[in-house]
Structure 1
Amino acid sequence: MDYDSNEVRGQIVIVGTGGLGRELHELVEDINDASTGAHTWDILGWLDGNAAVHGTQVHDLPVLGDLDWLQNHPDVYVVIGIGAPPTRRKVVEKIRALGHARFATLIHPTAVIGRRVTIGEGTVICANVTTTTDYAIGRHVLINIMATVAHDDVLHDYVTIAPAAVISGNVTIGEGTDLGTNATVNQGVEIGAWSIVGSGAVVTKTLPANCTAVGAPAKPIKERPEGWHL
């Protein structure tokens, strides 16, 4: 796999001081607790677009400023604590526009990660996630606690998988799709890019891009124009 859990780490900042950002702080601390020496992260603090929180502290760490802070800190790694795929994509593009390109890939020590897999930069895999083998996960994907990813799955960039979602084998999930809590995706199904699948939905058939789907079996209830996420 293209992520080495034994890589030498360094300084890191977390973008977003909301609930997910604070969960990622805990995740990084758990990684540090399971590691030693050069394999730990030095957590510098937070970046947030809300100027009102600049100079304050969250979890006893300073809010350092907004994304422009990265211009003077090119060697610092970044992780994005934002759950909504469209917003996460926009933040990543802003960071890249600043010339910054160090995104941390974080995998919780309790996650089960298969062999012969690919995991892209900036992806976060949370506690008690279970995966098997021969799957590909793109960049800046978020897989929340207790979710399951099976064999031969493909999760494209910016996908969000909510807690306890179950993805069966040979599934393809398009870029930027948001899969809800406790949702299930059956074997061999494809979900189009930038779709939203509701909590508890059971996806038994292919879903188009840019739709919202709910129910068991899941059916589209809303369609969005192409590029709605931009």
Structure 2
Amino acid sequence: MSLDLVIVGCGGHGREVLGIVRAVNAAATGGPVWRVLGFVDDGPSEVNLKRVRRLEVPYLGGTARLGEQPAGTHLALGIGDPAARRSVDQRLTAYRLPAAVLVHPDATVGPDTVYGEGLIVFPGARVTTNVTLGRHVHLNQNSAVAHDCALGDHVSVNPLGAVSGDCQLGDGVLIGAGAVVLQRLRVGAGATVGAGACVVRDVPASAVVKGVPAR
């Protein structure tokens, strides 16, 4: 029997999450895994509402509508920014709804990987072995997380971002598109690594670094 699911956020990231859900359902051999009830969003633009309608999935209203959903309904936070995702996650805990784990069938999650609720792995992403992923981590298209890494809660690795072996990323870290973190480095909580950067030394918490080498 399919599990009920609501996607939080009907912007581009949320609609990409719907694509992952549909790919998971299409690949399942025993019937669809998820039944998408709709999107919730507290401030959707008219453009995004129009795009959601084209996908033939209902817009349910603001996040307060989560209180009306059937018991056991799962949530997927379709919010790309780590800080915003953390804020919404904290606010929605009052509804006591579980967070879905979504792994696109074209992604790879290797052996000895431990992950929290809400993990979303986009197509082409690669996770190797002995990796720990926190709550609501998002690994975007064609990103990579190598062996022996630990990523905290609400981390985002954007498309083509690469985290080399034995790295630690604190809560809320954002690795920009095409950025690389070299092996055995630490990126502090809330830090941002700009697109295309190459991190060659530890990054302090809340810092913003960019360039090659990243500064």
| TM-score strictly above 0.5 | yes
- Specify the code of the residue in structure 2 equivalent to 1:22: R
Change in Cα spacing, 1:172 to 1:146, as seen in structure 2 (3 Å) is same
- Structure 2 portions without partners, runs of 5+: none
SS at match of 2:22: helix
Q: 1:155 aligns with which of 151, 154, 157?
A: 151
Change in Cα spacing, 1:35 to 1:157, as seen in structure 2 (3 Å) is same
Q: 1:176-217 CA distances to partner (integer Å, 9 max, x unpaired)?
A: 011100000001000000011100100010010011001111
- Equivalent residue, structure 1, for 2:85: 88
Q: Distance in 2 between matches of 1:84 and 1:26?
A: 19
Q: For residues 114-133 of structure 1, what are the structure 2 equivalents within 5 Å?
A: 114-133=110-129
Change in Cα spacing, 1:10 to 1:58, as seen in structure 2 (3 Å) is same
| Percent identity of equivalent pairs | 35
Q: 1:58-103 CA distances to partner (integer Å, 9 max, x unpaired)?
A: 5111100111111122321110111011110111111112x32311
SS at match of 1:187: coil
User: Is the contact between residue 144 and residue 163 of structure 2 (CA under 8 Å) also seen in structure 1?
Assistant: yes
Q: Distance in 2 between matches of 1:116 and 1:68?
A: 37
Shift of the alpha carbon at 1:173?
0.5
1:109 is the counterpart of 2:102: no
Shift of the alpha carbon at 1:36?
3.5
1:19 is the counterpart of 2:15: no
User: Is the contact between residue 11 and residue 44 of structure 2 (CA under 8 Å) also seen in structure 1?
Assistant: no
> Over the residues paired in the alignment, what is the CA RMSD in angstroms?
1.8
User: Is the contact between residue 113 and residue 130 of structure 1 (CA under 8 Å) also seen in structure 2?
Assistant: yes
Q: 1:150-182 CA distances to partner (integer Å, 9 max, x unpaired)?
A: 110001000010000111100001100111000
- Specify the code of the residue in structure 2 equivalent to 1:11: D
1:78 is the counterpart of 2:75: yes
Give the TM-score of the pair, scaled to structure 1.
Answer: 0.87
- Equivalent residue, structure 2, for 1:212: 208
Change in Cα spacing, 1:176 to 1:9, as seen in structure 2 (3 Å) is farther
Where does structure 1 differ by over 4 angstroms across 4 or more consecutive aligned residues? 51-56
